[in-house]
Amino acid sequence: MSRLTDYSRLCIHTITTKPWSIEEACGNFSDAGVKGITVWRNALEGKALMATGRMIRDRGLQIVSLCRGGFFPSIDAVKRSLALEDNRKAIDEAHALGAPMIVLVCGADPGQPLQESRKQIRDGIQEILPYAREAGVKLAIEPLHPMYAADRSAINTLAQANEMAAAIDSPWVGVAVDVYHLWWDPDLETEIKKCGRMNKLFAFHICDWKTNPEDLLNDRGLMGEGCIDLPLIRTWIEAAGFNGFIEVEIFSNRYWAMDQHRFLSEIKEAYLNC
Amino acid sequence: MSRLTDYSRLCIHTITTKPWSIEEACGNFSDAGVKGITVWRNALEGKALMATGRMIRDRGLQIVSLCRGGFFPSIDAVKRSLALEDNRKAIDEAHALGAPMIVLVCGADPGQPLQESRKQIRDGIQEILPYAREAGVKLAIEPLHPMYAADRSAINTLAQANEMAAAIDSPWVGVAVDVYHLWWDPDLETEIKKCGRMNKLFAFHICDWKTNPEDLLNDRGLMGEGCIDLPLIRTWIEAAGFNGFIEVEIFSNRYWAMDQHRFLSEIKEAYLNC
């Protein structure tokens, strides 16, 4: 495995430095030599999308993804239809911004069986697929940690995401691998290989898993701070043919509370050991 | 699937009603018509074990398991050896109490790869197995939810537990299925079948998964309060040949804070809908 020696593949999610506006994030990432940015939709509220996309590119940043679409399942058909509408809106936004891909947090409804939610996810993706294809926007299914199976995603392993992407069988639908969600999986290496063989490995998200997180959602660790063997997983990812951006996605009340310039320096330092 | 119409298969873990001493739990479970008890080691501190076992049986309760052994892995060989010693002590305790089985929370060390922890778990079980067999105490590997993979258990799916039990291949080593840990798993039905076919389905633990738990450890739900389809999973468990006790294991700051007699009534009511 090659060491990371520069920042040519470093992408940061806007949510990682949530206190910064999209303009601040852009400016500061660019000044720091970061090359990619994944834009969360909350950072775009009230913004002119095409102008924002231009601003990002003018600062030398590549837009990697728009986060996020999905949340397809609901026991309520009206809500399912609203979800499809929101996904089409996300595709419009990605197109206007110039983002080539949307990450799908697929959703789940605790009021119905997981099997039903999984079926609705597949139906939902099939439904929006023609719209995405027409807009030239890829869809990346992101399997989420099983602790989110009740209401955030009924897709909880890479095997499930791979199976769904294979079943849908479109070059516009693939998978986003986030180490936070998948590090524990005994089948991770095998499934990363499989994903690569299918040409479905669309994105790679990193952070770390702290022992005894204080919060199920917003206590992710900076790379190196927890127990995920990031260099090992990156070896598998690269052996599977992925050479795209390595995206830092950290939700953390702790890091959001600190000086974001200092945090960005820490991210850069930690990144080189991933 | 048959409905549960009486309490002949109801077992409660002492930890579920943690505020009660073992004597109080015994008396109150027995008065309530509960037939089984799984004893946690913390409830035995300072107690004469054989006398406590006799007291439990005298109240008409069957001891289902002793909780818990395990925690085998460590990067430190001295700690691994202390863990083996503690497991032998747990076997002594089970034997003295008259408990036919110990539940193993297998352990993990965030300072080493999961693969290494998994190897140490298998080595640890192999190491204590002769001692357990001699004492007539079975060992049940309990796969834990992936959110505990850093430090509580590197065995996180039923597939892993089944594979380990199959590899060890002793009638004294089997698996404990706890719905809280496994409900999300798309392979759950298949693996429960497999476990049954191998005659390794030693225990069945129930509670519920609340959406957005406040705490990773102590916010389990009472059956019916969350999103686990307990009747469905019980169908699978019984189709796999299991007809033993159905064990209520709830860690909950909320329930521990309430009147335990009322809680016990709620458990009995909820149980009949499982």
Q: Interface pTM (ipTM) of the complex?
A: 0.94
Interface of B to A at Cβ within 8 Å reads 110-111, 113-114, 118, 145-147, 149-151, 156-157, 159-160, 183-186, 209-213, 216, 226-227, 229, 232
Return the pLDDT at A34.
98
Domain assignment of residue B208, given as a range: 10-271
In a domain, A1, yes or no: no
In a domain, B1, yes or no: no
Mutate to test the interface with A, among B145, B184, B188 (most CBs of A within 10 A): B184
In a domain, B136, yes or no: yes
In a domain, A264, yes or no: yes
In a domain, B5, yes or no: no
What count of other Cβ atoms lies within 10 Å of the Cβ of residue B109? 23
What are residue B67's DSSP bridge partners?
B40, B103
Contacts of B157 in chain A (CB under 8 A): 186
- Note the pLDDT tens digit of each residue in B43-76: 999 999 999 999 999 999 999 999 999 999 999 9
In a domain, B133, yes or no: yes
Task: Give the pairing of strands B138-141 and A36-40.
Answer: unpaired
- Asked if residues B191 and B159 have their Cβ atoms less than 8 Å apart, the reply is yes
SS3 A75: coil
CATH code of the domain containing A170: 3.20.20.150
pLDDT (average), residues A24-48: 98
B146 and A212 within 8 Å at the Cβ level: the answer is no
- pLDDT tier at B110 (50, 70, 90 boundaries)? very high
Number of structural domains chain B divides into: 1
In this complex, which of B159, B211, B232 lies closest to A150 when CB atoms are compared?
B211
> Cα angle vertex B185, ends B269, B5, to 5°?
20
Q: In whole angstroms, how far apart are CA B207 and each of B8, B149, B227?
A: 18, 20, 10
Return the pLDDT at A212.
86
> Nearest C-alpha of chain A: how many angstroms from B132?
28
pLDDT (average), residues A13-26: 98
Of A145, A141, A142, A160, nearest in space to A216 by CA: A145
In a domain, A3, yes or no: no
- pLDDT tier at B212 (50, 70, 90 boundaries)? confident
In a domain, A27, yes or no: yes
Interface of A to B at Cβ within 8 Å reads 110-111, 113-114, 118, 145-147, 149-151, 156-157, 159-160, 183-186, 209-213, 216, 226-227, 229, 232
